[in-house]
Amino acid sequence: MPTRSVRCPTCGAGLEGTQGQTLAVCRFCRTEVRLTLTPIDGMTRALEKKAEVESRMNALMERYAASLVTDVRRALLYYEAFTYLVLWTSHEVEDLAELEAMASPLMKEAARQLKTTYVAPVDRGETVTFASVDALLS
């Protein structure tokens, strides 16, 4: 795996431990440096993030399948949380809520296939967060 040489833009010191990171702090002058992910960094990061949320994703899939027959709107909520986590693994965002513009068209299509309608979190007065996903699974 090729290593990158990243330097602090303020003091010019080499930054260490930047592999797979999106933000580094210079150990000399404390400057915060936003890093652009190389393709290999992006792949590594996506796998790390997937490992982080995989158990939640499995649980959401089980709940989705179990509720599909009895409560399709509930099933859609599990699918929504799943969709946000999938998008989260491949996009660098601070909060899940930032993925809404990407998630909503996918959810509308899923709802159409399930012959129901999708109301986006913003229109429900809600926000999808890791806490809301955990609450859904509790």
Which residues would be at the binding site for Zn ion (CB under 5 A)? 8, 10-11, 13, 26, 28-29, 31
- Cβ-based nearer residue to Zn ion, 28 or 47: 28
- Minimum Å distance from CB 49 to Zn ion? 28
- Minimum Å distance from CB 10 to Zn ion? 4
- Minimum Å distance from CB 33 to Zn ion? 8
- Minimum Å distance from CB 8 to Zn ion? 3
What DSSP designation does 110 have? H
- Cβ-based nearer residue to Zn ion, 8 or 85: 8
- Cβ-based nearer residue to Zn ion, 6 or 111: 6
CA separation for the pair 99, 83 (Å, rounded): 10
| Chain centroid offset of residue 48 CA | 11
Phi, psi of 93 (to 5 degrees): -135, 155
- Cβ-based nearer residue to Zn ion, 8 or 75: 8
Residue listed under structure tokens 């699974």: 137
Buried b (16+ CB within 10 A) or exposed e, 32-50: ebebebeeebbeebbeebe
